[in-house]
Structure 1
Protein backbone atom coordinates (compact mmCIF):
# COMPACT_ATOMS: atom_id res chain seq x y z
CA UNK A 1 0.00 0.00 0.00
CA UNK A 2 1.40 3.39 -1.00
CA UNK A 3 1.70 5.97 1.74
CA UNK A 4 -0.35 9.11 1.14
CA UNK A 5 0.62 12.59 2.29
CA UNK A 6 -2.02 12.29 5.02
CA UNK A 7 -0.55 8.99 6.24
CA UNK A 8 2.93 10.49 6.40
CA UNK A 9 1.64 13.50 8.35
CA UNK A 10 -0.04 11.22 10.89
CA UNK A 11 3.14 9.16 11.17
CA UNK A 12 5.26 12.24 11.81
CA UNK A 13 2.90 13.55 14.51
CA UNK A 14 2.56 10.23 16.29
CA UNK A 15 6.31 9.62 16.27
CA UNK A 16 6.89 12.46 18.71
CA UNK A 17 4.89 10.65 21.39
CA UNK A 18 7.51 7.95 21.61
CA UNK A 19 10.04 10.41 22.96
CA UNK A 20 8.30 10.40 26.33
CA UNK A 21 8.15 6.63 26.50
CA UNK A 22 10.89 4.70 28.26
CA UNK A 23 12.88 2.47 25.94
CA UNK A 24 12.59 -0.23 28.60
CA UNK A 25 8.99 -0.73 27.44
CA UNK A 26 10.22 -1.56 23.94
CA UNK A 27 11.32 -5.11 23.02
CA UNK A 28 15.11 -5.37 23.02
CA UNK A 29 15.21 -6.29 19.32
CA UNK A 30 13.45 -2.99 18.51
CA UNK A 31 15.16 -0.88 21.15
CA UNK A 32 17.98 1.57 20.38
CA UNK A 33 21.38 -0.07 20.37
CA UNK A 34 22.91 -1.18 23.66
CA UNK A 35 26.67 -1.86 23.70
CA UNK A 36 26.60 -2.13 19.89
CA UNK A 37 24.80 -5.50 20.14
CA UNK A 38 22.40 -4.79 17.28
CA UNK A 39 25.20 -3.63 15.02
CA UNK A 40 27.31 -6.69 15.80
CA UNK A 41 24.38 -8.98 15.04
CA UNK A 42 23.78 -7.28 11.70
CA UNK A 43 27.46 -7.41 10.76
CA UNK A 44 27.50 -11.18 11.35
CA UNK A 45 24.89 -11.76 8.62
CA UNK A 46 25.62 -12.42 4.95
CA UNK A 47 25.55 -9.04 3.17
CA UNK A 48 23.34 -8.44 0.15
CA UNK A 49 23.97 -5.76 -2.45
CA UNK A 50 22.02 -4.21 -5.30
CA UNK A 51 23.29 -4.06 -8.86
CA UNK A 52 23.72 -0.30 -8.54
CA UNK A 53 25.99 -0.85 -5.54
CA UNK A 54 28.04 -3.32 -7.57
CA UNK A 55 28.53 -0.85 -10.43
CA UNK A 56 29.87 1.84 -8.09
CA UNK A 57 32.91 -0.30 -7.22
CA UNK A 58 34.50 0.04 -10.62
CA UNK A 59 38.15 1.04 -10.41
CA UNK A 60 41.49 -0.48 -9.47
CA UNK A 61 41.30 0.81 -5.90
CA UNK A 62 37.78 -0.46 -5.28
CA UNK A 63 36.98 -3.37 -7.56
CA UNK A 64 33.96 -5.65 -7.27
CA UNK A 65 32.67 -8.22 -9.73
CA UNK A 66 29.73 -10.62 -9.69
CA UNK A 67 29.56 -14.25 -10.83
CA UNK A 68 26.21 -16.05 -10.59
CA UNK A 69 24.99 -13.82 -7.78
CA UNK A 70 28.22 -14.03 -5.77
CA UNK A 71 30.08 -10.75 -5.33
CA UNK A 72 33.86 -10.66 -4.98
CA UNK A 73 36.16 -7.81 -4.02
CA UNK A 74 39.13 -8.34 -6.36
CA UNK A 75 40.99 -5.14 -5.42
CA UNK A 76 43.89 -7.08 -3.89
CA UNK A 77 44.05 -9.39 -6.91
CA UNK A 78 44.31 -6.42 -9.27
CA UNK A 79 47.26 -5.09 -7.26
CA UNK A 80 49.00 -8.46 -7.61
CA UNK A 81 48.37 -8.45 -11.36
CA UNK A 82 50.02 -5.09 -11.99
CA UNK A 83 52.66 -5.32 -14.69
CA UNK A 84 51.02 -8.35 -16.35
CA UNK A 85 48.64 -8.80 -19.28
CA UNK A 86 46.01 -9.82 -16.77
CA UNK A 87 45.86 -6.35 -15.18
CA UNK A 88 43.92 -4.52 -17.90
CA UNK A 89 41.71 -7.53 -18.40
CA UNK A 90 40.62 -7.51 -14.76
CA UNK A 91 40.10 -3.75 -14.88
CA UNK A 92 37.68 -4.26 -17.78
CA UNK A 93 35.54 -6.53 -15.59
CA UNK A 94 35.17 -4.42 -12.45
CA UNK A 95 31.75 -3.18 -11.42
CA UNK A 96 30.08 -5.77 -13.65
CA UNK A 97 28.34 -9.12 -13.64
CA UNK A 98 30.67 -11.42 -15.62
CA UNK A 99 28.61 -14.60 -15.26
CA UNK A 100 28.49 -14.90 -19.06
CA UNK A 101 32.16 -15.93 -18.97
CA UNK A 102 31.40 -18.94 -16.76
CA UNK A 103 29.64 -22.26 -17.25
CA UNK A 104 26.29 -22.40 -15.45
CA UNK A 105 26.85 -25.99 -14.31
CA UNK A 106 30.54 -26.17 -13.39
CA UNK A 107 30.90 -22.48 -12.45
CA UNK A 108 34.29 -22.60 -14.16
CA UNK A 109 35.36 -20.38 -17.09
CA UNK A 110 33.64 -21.28 -20.34
CA UNK A 111 35.58 -22.76 -23.23
CA UNK A 112 35.46 -21.31 -26.73
CA UNK A 113 37.04 -22.01 -30.11
CA UNK A 114 39.84 -19.62 -30.98
CA UNK A 115 38.97 -18.00 -34.36
CA UNK A 116 42.51 -18.36 -35.72
CA UNK A 117 43.97 -21.50 -34.19
CA UNK A 118 40.63 -23.32 -33.83
CA UNK A 119 41.79 -24.57 -30.46
CA UNK A 120 39.61 -24.79 -27.38
CA UNK A 121 40.59 -21.91 -25.10
CA UNK A 122 39.25 -20.32 -21.94
CA UNK A 123 36.77 -17.46 -22.25
CA UNK A 124 38.97 -15.68 -19.71
CA UNK A 125 42.19 -14.69 -21.40
CA UNK A 126 45.46 -14.96 -19.50
CA UNK A 127 43.90 -17.56 -17.21
CA UNK A 128 47.32 -19.10 -16.62
CA UNK A 129 48.58 -15.82 -15.15
CA UNK A 130 45.54 -15.66 -12.89
CA UNK A 131 46.14 -19.21 -11.69
CA UNK A 132 49.80 -18.42 -11.02
CA UNK A 133 48.70 -15.81 -8.46
CA UNK A 134 46.97 -18.46 -6.35
CA UNK A 135 43.74 -20.42 -6.28
CA UNK A 136 41.23 -18.70 -8.61
CA UNK A 137 39.05 -16.42 -6.49
CA UNK A 138 35.79 -18.05 -7.60
CA UNK A 139 36.99 -21.34 -6.09
CA UNK A 140 37.59 -19.92 -2.61
CA UNK A 141 35.82 -17.67 -0.13
CA UNK A 142 38.81 -15.39 0.38
CA UNK A 143 37.49 -12.56 -1.81
CA UNK A 144 33.78 -13.35 -1.48
CA UNK A 145 31.95 -10.48 0.25
CA UNK A 146 28.23 -11.08 -0.31
CA UNK A 147 25.34 -11.85 -2.63
CA UNK A 148 23.62 -9.86 -5.35
CA UNK A 149 19.97 -9.28 -4.50
CA UNK A 150 17.27 -10.52 -6.82
CA UNK A 151 14.82 -7.94 -5.51
CA UNK A 152 16.13 -4.39 -5.03
CA UNK A 153 13.75 -1.87 -3.50
CA UNK A 154 13.68 1.69 -2.22
CA UNK A 155 12.72 3.06 1.17
CA UNK A 156 12.32 6.61 2.42
CA UNK A 157 13.86 7.43 5.80
CA UNK A 158 12.55 10.46 7.69
CA UNK A 159 13.89 11.83 10.96
CA UNK A 160 10.98 12.74 13.22
CA UNK A 161 12.65 16.08 14.02
CA UNK A 162 13.22 16.99 10.35
CA UNK A 163 10.45 15.40 8.25
CA UNK A 164 11.03 17.85 5.40
CA UNK A 165 14.39 16.26 4.60
CA UNK A 166 13.74 12.63 3.60
CA UNK A 167 16.51 10.31 2.50
CA UNK A 168 15.84 7.77 -0.27
CA UNK A 169 17.88 4.58 0.07
CA UNK A 170 18.07 1.62 -2.32
CA UNK A 171 18.36 -1.63 -0.41
CA UNK A 172 18.09 -5.39 -0.94
CA UNK A 173 14.86 -7.19 -0.10
CA UNK A 174 16.87 -9.81 1.81
CA UNK A 175 18.47 -7.31 4.19
CA UNK A 176 17.37 -6.96 7.80
CA UNK A 177 16.70 -3.54 9.31
CA UNK A 178 20.05 -3.90 11.07
CA UNK A 179 21.85 -4.47 7.77
CA UNK A 180 20.10 -1.46 6.25
CA UNK A 181 21.22 0.58 9.26
CA UNK A 182 24.83 -0.45 8.62
CA UNK A 183 24.65 1.03 5.12
CA UNK A 184 23.25 4.24 6.60
CA UNK A 185 26.13 4.60 9.09
CA UNK A 186 28.12 6.70 6.61
CA UNK A 187 25.33 9.30 6.74
CA UNK A 188 24.57 9.06 10.46
CA UNK A 189 27.04 7.43 12.86
CA UNK A 190 24.32 7.17 15.55
CA UNK A 191 21.78 5.37 13.36
CA UNK A 192 21.61 2.38 15.72
CA UNK A 193 20.43 4.71 18.48
CA UNK A 194 17.15 5.43 16.71
CA UNK A 195 13.84 3.64 16.97
CA UNK A 196 12.61 2.71 13.48
CA UNK A 197 8.83 2.95 12.96
CA UNK A 198 6.42 2.23 10.13
CA UNK A 199 2.68 2.94 10.41
CA UNK A 200 2.76 3.05 14.22
CA UNK A 201 4.76 -0.19 14.37
CA UNK A 202 8.21 -0.38 15.96
CA UNK A 203 10.46 -2.38 13.64
CA UNK A 204 12.52 -5.41 14.60
CA UNK A 205 16.20 -4.90 13.68
CA UNK A 206 16.62 -8.65 13.17
CA UNK A 207 13.91 -8.93 10.50
CA UNK A 208 13.66 -7.82 6.89
CA UNK A 209 11.25 -5.15 5.72
CA UNK A 210 8.78 -7.77 4.50
CA UNK A 211 9.06 -9.73 7.76
CA UNK A 212 8.29 -6.46 9.55
CA UNK A 213 5.10 -6.13 7.51
CA UNK A 214 6.41 -3.58 4.99
CA UNK A 215 5.46 -4.83 1.51
CA UNK A 216 7.76 -4.55 -1.48
CA UNK A 217 5.78 -2.18 -3.67
CA UNK A 218 8.25 -2.64 -6.52
CA UNK A 219 6.92 -6.19 -7.00
CA UNK A 220 3.34 -4.89 -6.91
CA UNK A 221 4.09 -2.31 -9.60
CA UNK A 222 5.90 -4.84 -11.79
CA UNK A 223 3.00 -7.29 -11.55
CA UNK A 224 0.53 -4.79 -13.00
CA UNK A 225 2.96 -3.05 -15.33
CA UNK A 226 2.75 0.25 -13.48
CA UNK A 227 5.47 2.84 -13.51
CA UNK A 228 7.66 2.23 -10.48
CA UNK A 229 9.99 4.81 -9.00
CA UNK A 230 11.46 5.71 -5.66
CA UNK A 231 8.83 8.39 -5.04
CA UNK A 232 6.28 5.68 -4.23
CA UNK A 233 8.40 3.76 -1.75
CA UNK A 234 7.54 2.98 1.87
CA UNK A 235 8.35 5.60 4.51
CA UNK A 236 10.13 4.72 7.75
CA UNK A 237 10.35 7.26 10.56
CA UNK A 238 13.53 7.40 12.63
CA UNK A 239 12.71 8.42 16.19
CA UNK A 240 15.42 10.09 18.22
CA UNK A 241 16.45 8.50 21.51
CA UNK A 242 18.72 9.85 24.23
CA UNK A 243 20.39 6.42 24.37
CA UNK A 244 23.12 7.46 21.94
CA UNK A 245 25.94 5.14 20.98
CA UNK A 246 29.48 6.43 20.70
CA UNK A 247 30.28 7.61 17.19
Structure 2
Protein backbone atom coordinates (compact mmCIF):
# COMPACT_ATOMS: atom_id res chain seq x y z
CA UNK A 1 0.00 0.00 0.00
CA UNK A 2 1.36 3.41 -0.97
CA UNK A 3 1.81 5.74 2.02
CA UNK A 4 -0.75 8.53 2.14
CA UNK A 5 0.45 12.10 2.04
CA UNK A 6 -1.25 15.46 2.20
CA UNK A 7 -3.17 16.09 -1.04
CA UNK A 8 -2.36 18.98 -3.34
CA UNK A 9 -5.08 21.30 -4.64
CA UNK A 10 -5.15 23.71 -7.54
CA UNK A 11 -6.37 27.31 -6.96
CA UNK A 12 -9.32 26.43 -9.19
CA UNK A 13 -10.31 23.58 -6.86
CA UNK A 14 -10.11 25.87 -3.82
CA UNK A 15 -12.24 28.49 -5.59
CA UNK A 16 -15.13 26.03 -5.89
CA UNK A 17 -15.53 25.99 -2.09
CA UNK A 18 -16.93 29.49 -1.78
CA UNK A 19 -20.16 29.29 0.22
CA UNK A 20 -21.03 29.62 3.88
CA UNK A 21 -21.63 25.86 4.11
CA UNK A 22 -18.52 24.96 2.13
CA UNK A 23 -15.84 27.52 2.89
CA UNK A 24 -12.22 26.99 1.95
CA UNK A 25 -9.33 29.43 1.81
CA UNK A 26 -5.63 29.12 1.16
CA UNK A 27 -2.74 30.94 2.76
CA UNK A 28 1.00 30.49 3.06
CA UNK A 29 0.93 27.54 0.67
CA UNK A 30 -1.70 25.52 2.55
CA UNK A 31 -5.42 24.90 2.07
CA UNK A 32 -7.90 25.20 4.93
CA UNK A 33 -11.53 24.19 5.33
CA UNK A 34 -13.08 26.88 7.53
CA UNK A 35 -16.61 25.48 7.21
CA UNK A 36 -16.67 24.35 10.90
CA UNK A 37 -15.49 27.82 11.94
CA UNK A 38 -18.23 29.46 9.89
CA UNK A 39 -20.84 27.11 11.34
CA UNK A 40 -19.71 27.76 14.91
CA UNK A 41 -19.81 31.57 14.50
CA UNK A 42 -22.74 31.87 12.10
CA UNK A 43 -24.35 35.29 12.44
CA UNK A 44 -21.24 36.92 13.92
CA UNK A 45 -20.38 40.15 12.08
CA UNK A 46 -16.68 39.31 12.49
CA UNK A 47 -17.19 36.37 10.16
CA UNK A 48 -17.98 38.67 7.21
CA UNK A 49 -14.39 39.23 5.92
CA UNK A 50 -13.78 35.48 6.02
CA UNK A 51 -16.98 34.75 4.08
CA UNK A 52 -16.00 37.35 1.49
CA UNK A 53 -12.63 35.60 1.13
CA UNK A 54 -14.17 32.15 0.60
CA UNK A 55 -12.44 30.23 -2.17
CA UNK A 56 -9.56 32.72 -2.36
CA UNK A 57 -5.94 32.93 -1.29
CA UNK A 58 -5.48 35.21 1.73
CA UNK A 59 -1.70 34.99 2.12
CA UNK A 60 -1.59 38.80 1.93
CA UNK A 61 -3.31 38.89 5.33
CA UNK A 62 -0.25 37.38 6.97
CA UNK A 63 3.32 38.17 7.88
CA UNK A 64 5.09 35.43 5.94
CA UNK A 65 7.92 35.24 8.51
CA UNK A 66 5.87 34.97 11.70
CA UNK A 67 2.74 33.33 10.29
CA UNK A 68 0.62 35.79 12.24
CA UNK A 69 -1.72 38.50 10.95
CA UNK A 70 0.15 41.54 9.66
CA UNK A 71 0.63 44.36 12.16
CA UNK A 72 1.52 48.03 12.08
CA UNK A 73 2.31 50.84 14.50
CA UNK A 74 -0.59 53.21 14.99
CA UNK A 75 0.88 56.70 14.32
CA UNK A 76 -1.50 58.33 16.82
CA UNK A 77 -1.10 55.95 19.77
CA UNK A 78 2.25 54.32 19.00
CA UNK A 79 0.63 50.94 19.73
CA UNK A 80 1.04 47.77 17.72
CA UNK A 81 -2.19 46.85 15.93
CA UNK A 82 -3.38 44.18 13.52
CA UNK A 83 -3.53 45.31 9.90
CA UNK A 84 -6.97 44.32 8.61
CA UNK A 85 -7.97 46.71 5.79
CA UNK A 86 -10.71 44.26 4.72
CA UNK A 87 -12.27 44.66 8.17
CA UNK A 88 -11.65 43.15 11.58
CA UNK A 89 -12.42 39.43 11.67
CA UNK A 90 -12.72 36.56 14.13
CA UNK A 91 -10.07 36.32 16.87
CA UNK A 92 -8.56 39.70 16.03
CA UNK A 93 -8.82 41.94 19.12
CA UNK A 94 -10.49 45.34 18.88
CA UNK A 95 -8.33 48.40 18.32
CA UNK A 96 -9.16 49.79 21.73
CA UNK A 97 -9.94 48.21 25.13
CA UNK A 98 -13.39 46.66 25.11
CA UNK A 99 -15.32 45.02 27.94
CA UNK A 100 -17.13 42.63 25.59
CA UNK A 101 -13.95 41.21 24.02
CA UNK A 102 -13.80 37.53 25.00
CA UNK A 103 -10.25 36.19 24.88
CA UNK A 104 -11.28 32.69 25.94
CA UNK A 105 -11.41 31.20 22.43
CA UNK A 106 -8.23 29.15 22.58
CA UNK A 107 -5.86 29.41 19.66
CA UNK A 108 -6.81 31.77 16.80
CA UNK A 109 -8.22 30.03 13.74
CA UNK A 110 -5.25 30.88 11.53
CA UNK A 111 -2.98 28.91 13.90
CA UNK A 112 -5.29 25.92 14.27
CA UNK A 113 -3.93 22.96 12.23
CA UNK A 114 -7.24 21.08 12.50
CA UNK A 115 -8.61 23.19 9.62
CA UNK A 116 -5.80 22.24 7.25
CA UNK A 117 -6.87 19.89 4.44
CA UNK A 118 -3.92 19.98 2.06
CA UNK A 119 -1.27 21.87 0.14
CA UNK A 120 -1.82 24.58 -2.46
CA UNK A 121 0.00 23.77 -5.68
CA UNK A 122 2.74 26.26 -6.50
CA UNK A 123 2.33 25.51 -10.22
CA UNK A 124 -0.41 23.68 -12.09
CA UNK A 125 -0.13 21.95 -15.45
CA UNK A 126 -2.54 21.05 -18.21
CA UNK A 127 -2.11 17.55 -19.67
CA UNK A 128 -3.99 15.48 -22.21
CA UNK A 129 -4.72 11.84 -21.33
CA UNK A 130 -5.44 9.62 -24.33
CA UNK A 131 -7.00 6.17 -23.91
CA UNK A 132 -5.58 4.20 -26.84
CA UNK A 133 -8.22 1.49 -26.37
CA UNK A 134 -11.23 3.78 -26.79
CA UNK A 135 -9.53 6.81 -28.43
CA UNK A 136 -11.13 9.02 -25.79
CA UNK A 137 -9.20 12.09 -24.68
CA UNK A 138 -9.44 14.03 -21.46
CA UNK A 139 -7.83 17.35 -20.57
CA UNK A 140 -6.86 17.62 -16.90
CA UNK A 141 -5.42 20.39 -14.77
CA UNK A 142 -3.01 18.76 -12.33
CA UNK A 143 -0.55 19.89 -9.68
CA UNK A 144 3.10 19.85 -10.67
CA UNK A 145 3.95 18.30 -7.29
CA UNK A 146 1.68 15.28 -7.82
CA UNK A 147 2.96 11.82 -8.69
CA UNK A 148 1.47 9.97 -11.63
CA UNK A 149 -0.44 7.81 -9.12
CA UNK A 150 -2.10 10.97 -7.78
CA UNK A 151 -2.85 12.14 -11.30
CA UNK A 152 -4.41 8.73 -11.95
CA UNK A 153 -6.72 9.35 -8.98
CA UNK A 154 -7.86 12.60 -10.63
CA UNK A 155 -8.57 10.67 -13.82
CA UNK A 156 -10.68 7.94 -12.16
CA UNK A 157 -14.02 9.77 -12.62
CA UNK A 158 -13.47 9.44 -16.38
CA UNK A 159 -12.19 5.86 -16.30
CA UNK A 160 -12.78 3.68 -13.23
CA UNK A 161 -10.32 1.11 -14.62
CA UNK A 162 -7.44 3.55 -15.06
CA UNK A 163 -5.22 1.29 -12.96
CA UNK A 164 -5.51 -1.43 -15.60
CA UNK A 165 -3.57 0.64 -18.12
CA UNK A 166 0.13 1.24 -18.64
CA UNK A 167 0.75 4.98 -18.66
CA UNK A 168 3.32 6.12 -21.24
CA UNK A 169 4.88 9.30 -22.51
CA UNK A 170 6.58 9.29 -25.91
CA UNK A 171 6.38 5.50 -25.87
CA UNK A 172 8.17 5.05 -22.52
CA UNK A 173 6.30 3.75 -19.43
CA UNK A 174 5.97 6.30 -16.65
CA UNK A 175 7.20 5.65 -13.13
CA UNK A 176 3.94 6.04 -11.22
CA UNK A 177 5.78 7.05 -8.03
CA UNK A 178 7.38 10.10 -9.66
CA UNK A 179 6.07 13.46 -10.83
CA UNK A 180 5.62 14.33 -14.49
CA UNK A 181 8.78 16.43 -14.46
CA UNK A 182 10.79 13.61 -12.90
CA UNK A 183 9.45 11.34 -15.64
CA UNK A 184 10.81 13.65 -18.29
CA UNK A 185 7.48 15.31 -19.07
CA UNK A 186 8.83 18.84 -18.98
CA UNK A 187 6.80 21.89 -18.10
CA UNK A 188 7.61 24.23 -20.98
CA UNK A 189 5.15 27.01 -20.20
CA UNK A 190 7.90 29.57 -19.48
CA UNK A 191 9.69 28.78 -22.72
CA UNK A 192 6.47 29.05 -24.70
CA UNK A 193 5.72 32.35 -22.98
CA UNK A 194 9.15 33.74 -23.89
CA UNK A 195 8.59 32.69 -27.49
CA UNK A 196 5.06 34.16 -27.38
CA UNK A 197 3.58 30.78 -28.24
CA UNK A 198 0.20 29.59 -27.01
CA UNK A 199 1.08 26.93 -24.43
CA UNK A 200 -2.47 25.52 -24.66
CA UNK A 201 -1.69 24.44 -28.22
CA UNK A 202 1.24 22.32 -27.03
CA UNK A 203 -0.24 20.20 -24.26
CA UNK A 204 1.79 17.17 -23.16
CA UNK A 205 -0.02 13.93 -23.99
CA UNK A 206 -0.03 10.83 -21.81
CA UNK A 207 -1.07 7.62 -23.60
CA UNK A 208 -2.85 4.80 -21.77
CA UNK A 209 -2.36 1.24 -23.01
CA UNK A 210 -4.79 -1.40 -21.81
CA UNK A 211 -3.48 -4.38 -19.84
CA UNK A 212 -5.09 -7.81 -19.53
CA UNK A 213 -6.76 -7.42 -16.15
CA UNK A 214 -9.55 -5.02 -15.16
CA UNK A 215 -8.60 -3.45 -11.86
CA UNK A 216 -11.21 -1.09 -10.47
CA UNK A 217 -9.62 1.45 -8.14
TM-score (norm 1): 0.72
In 1, Cα distance between equivalents of 2:207 and 2:8: 23
Look up the match of 2:99.
none
Look up the match of 2:205.
235
* 1:161–1:226 CA distance, 2 compared to 1 (3 A): same
Look up the match of 1:94.
54
Look up the match of 1:25.
none
Q: Runs of at least 4 residues of structure 1 off by over 6 A?
A: 113-119
Residue 118 of structure 1 and its aligned partner are, at CA, apart by 8.9
Contact in 2 for aligned 1:196/1:236 (Cα 8 Å)? yes
In 1, Cα distance between equivalents of 2:19 and 2:74: 29
In 2, Cα distance between equivalents of 1:133 and 1:233: 49
Are 2:111 and 1:128 aligned?
A: no
Two-structure CA RMSD over aligned residues (Å): 2.7
Contact in 2 for aligned 1:155/1:230 (Cα 8 Å)? no
Task: Name the structure, 1 or 2, with higher relative contact order (CA <8 Å, separation 6+).
Answer: 1
Contact in 2 for aligned 1:193/1:245 (Cα 8 Å)? yes
Aligned residues: 205
* Consecutive unaligned residues in structure 1, runs of 5 or more: 1-36
In 2, Cα distance between equivalents of 1:69 and 1:126: 21
Contact in 1 for aligned 2:192/2:199 (Cα 8 Å)? no
In 2, Cα distance between equivalents of 1:62 and 1:229: 33
Deviates more, 1:184-193 or 1:88-97: 184-193
Superposed CA offset, 1:29-60 (max 9, x none): xxxxxxxx4xx44xx12322222222222222
* 1:71–1:79 CA distance, 2 compared to 1 (3 A): same
Contact in 2 for aligned 1:217/1:233 (Cα 8 Å)? no
In 2, Cα distance between equivalents of 1:136 and 1:98: 16
- Of the three residues 40, 53, 56, the one matched with 2:13 is 53
TM-score (norm 2): 0.81
Residue 155 of structure 1 and its aligned partner are, at CA, apart by 0.5
Look up the match of 1:3.
none
Look up the match of 1:212.
183
* 1:60–1:192 CA distance, 2 compared to 1 (3 A): farther
* 1:115–1:66 CA distance, 2 compared to 1 (3 A): farther
- Of the three residues 90, 94, 104, the one matched with 2:64 is 104
Residue 171 of structure 1 and its aligned partner are, at CA, apart by 1.0
Residue 201 of structure 1 and its aligned partner are, at CA, apart by 0.8
* Consecutive unaligned residues in structure 2, runs of 5 or more: 94-102
